[in-house]
Amino acid sequence: MRLSNARFAAHLKIGLRTVADWHKKPALTQNSGFQQALDNALQQASPAVRERFAELLTEAAGHQDTDHGDAEASSSDALAADAERRLTDDPHIAAALDWLDQHAGWTPGTGRTQVIARLARVNRRELEARGHGRARVSQPGLTWALTSYYGESPHGYRRYGARYGPDLDAATTVLTRPEWLDLDCPLLTDADRLTVAGTSPADASLDEHTAEHAVTRLAEALALNVRLVDMPLYRLQRENIRHRELAGQLGVDRFAHYALTMDLLEAELIDTLAADRPALPGSLPLRDQYLPDFSTVLDVADRLCAGGALALCAIARPARAYRGPADYVLLIQERSGHVLNAARTLSVIPKGFHQPITDYRTDAQIGATLLRETEEELLGRNDLDNTQGVERRADPMHPAHSSDPMRWLTETGALHMECTGFGLNLVSGNYEFACLIVIDDEQFWQHYGGVIETNWEASGLRQYSSLDRVLLTDLAADKAWSNEGLFAFLQGLRRLARIGGNRVDLPEIEWELW
């Protein structure tokens, strides 16, 4: 009937909690009174409602028959039950469904019905196999595919690339310009001054095709237990980026808007390449609609341009007999399959979307996002993870809440953060602030190196020495990088080579725009 729990409970003249319990316990046998109420509701429903009900019942039965007797049936049932629980209890999924109904022009509850129907057809094993297929699509493959799709770069802009050895070079999908590179811009200072122009979201309207893809995204996210948190998200409206200055205007949108529209472009492209199909205009329907050409990419004021900050993290270490002279340890993450963005790729760490917590104006600083992500992803501040619950504190980043490592860094002044580059990522249209974090006091590693640990967003953490030119050269050539991760890594190494003194022996990196 495409009703919410509350409206369906009112329709049956029963309690809301009873209807919610039906979702939590789908195998529950109803008492005779409820059975009669449900029978009457079905009999009195319109022919269209009865037809939809019959279709959903048939699909659910077919799904159960397919899995019957399989050795993994109990696991599949548990996953299905968890997906159903999230549909009922997860406020972020509920918010995303409400957003979908509103922007697809559907009556309330339609999105939920559509997602349930799609979930009944989801084969989790096929989704996992597709994930492995996606992992075989390399960063260079994405770069050259989008080169074919978009063609020659517009005047004044070029794609970021770099040469880091006699015969080695890299190319990325990050659209940039010379004045956006080697910014050497200190963060959390007067130079870090993006401002919020307003909180009106970007226009969004879903047609039948884009709404169908949004439904599929939600169903598959539920089936694979991918975390989706519908929090406020900054969107870029105007930029004024130059050497030692980050300026421009931001608006505020919702993560659900991004997750159900622009973030779908990456998966569409990767699936096309994994199937050995050409990535050309006309072959990527979502890209053709949302980000068809360079003029759309650059017109950030009239589209949803979300993004974030990511940083190469360099921590000073003392000399050791088994390790060698004093150096910096460089941290690289392997992204988890449970993240919504850039899953199963290499990236620098921290990496996060630029979004406010409680103070929309102060949190607009890129340094604010980077500081929060450092605490959350490396220093154990799980309370900053917005997937864990609603933020109720007035100032989550108040010094009183800081982790011990961050408090030590603040008191000693050993933490230095700066922006090294800016660009627009052709994969999803995101803005990317490439940054560098340097901790110069080697006592930090002595005291806290043992407590540095990634959160759920990473499936692994690697460390490299800033004196290991050979391994760092090999790392730059790894095809598992995300484009924005490689951009931040190469720009970070360039800057660290200039300021790192005797602690570094890095590959010579020269950026090339193509």
The domain over range 307-385+399-505 is classified in CATH as 3.90.79.10? yes
pLDDT at 66 over 70: no
And the tokens for 167?
A: 């015969």
What DSSP element (H or E) covers 327? strand 327-335
Among 16-25, 188-197, 312-321, 405-414, where is mean pLDDT lowest? Answer: 16-25
Cβ neighbour number for residue 323 with a 10 Å cutoff: 13
Average pLDDT for 36-58: 76
Average pLDDT for 329-357: 92
Question: Domain residues of the chain, as ranges?
Answer: 307-385+399-505
pLDDT at 499 over 90: yes
- Highest mean pLDDT pick, 42-51, 54-63, 222-231, 365-374: 365-374
pLDDT at 37 over 90: no
pLDDT at 170 over 80: yes
And the tokens for 287?
A: 């890209």
pLDDT digits (tens, 9 = 90+) for 110-127: 999 999 999 989 888 898
H-assigned helices in 429-468: 443-448
pLDDT at 23 over 80: no
Average pLDDT for 140-158: 97
Are 437 and 501 within 8 A, CB to CB? no
Task: Report yes or no on whether pTM surpasses 0.75.
Answer: yes
Interatomic CA distance for residues 493 and 280, integer angstroms:
34
And the tokens for 231?
A: 């929090």
Q: Can you give the pLDDT at residue 76? A: 55
Which residue is it, tokens 């349930």? 116
User: At residue 500, what is the residue type?
Assistant: G
SS3 406: helix
Which three-class secondary structure string do you get for 152-201? CCCCCCEEEEEEEECCEEEEEEEEECHHHEEEEEECCCCCEEEEECCCCC
Average pLDDT for 496-514: 97
Are 490 and 507 within 8 A, CB to CB? no
Interatomic CA distance for residues 389 and 385, integer angstroms:
8
Cβ neighbour number for residue 86 with a 10 Å cutoff: 19
More confident residue, 148 or 128: 148
Q: Can you give the pLDDT at residue 388? A: 63
Burial class (CB in 10 A: 0-12, 13-18, 19+), 390: exposed
DSSP 8-class letter at 400? G
Distance, first Cα to last Cα, the chain: 55
Residue 225 falls in which region: left (phi positive, over 0), alpha (psi -120 to 50) or beta: left
More confident residue, 229 or 88: 229
Q: Could you give the angle at the alpha carbon of 142 between the alpha carbons of 138 and 143, nearest 5°?
A: 115
Average pLDDT for 89-110: 95
pLDDT at 61 over 60: no
Interatomic CA distance for residues 215 and 119, integer angstroms:
10
pLDDT at 80 over 70: no
Nearest one of 200, 490, 492, 233 to 340, comparing CA atoms:
233
3-state helix, strand, coil in the chain (%, to 5): 45, 20, 35
And the tokens for 427?
A: 């994969």
Task: State the pLDDT confidence band at 71, using cuts at 50, 70 and 90.
Answer: very low
User: At residue 490, what is the residue type?
Assistant: L
pLDDT at 214 over 70: yes
Q: What pairing do the DSSP bridges indicate for beta strands 415-425 and 168-176?
A: antiparallel
Are 45 and 1 within 8 A, CB to CB? yes
- Highest mean pLDDT pick, 85-94, 216-225, 431-440: 431-440
* 263 strand-pairing partners: none
pLDDT at 335 over 90: yes
Residue % of the chain over a pLDDT of 90: 71
Per-chain mean pLDDT for the chain: 90
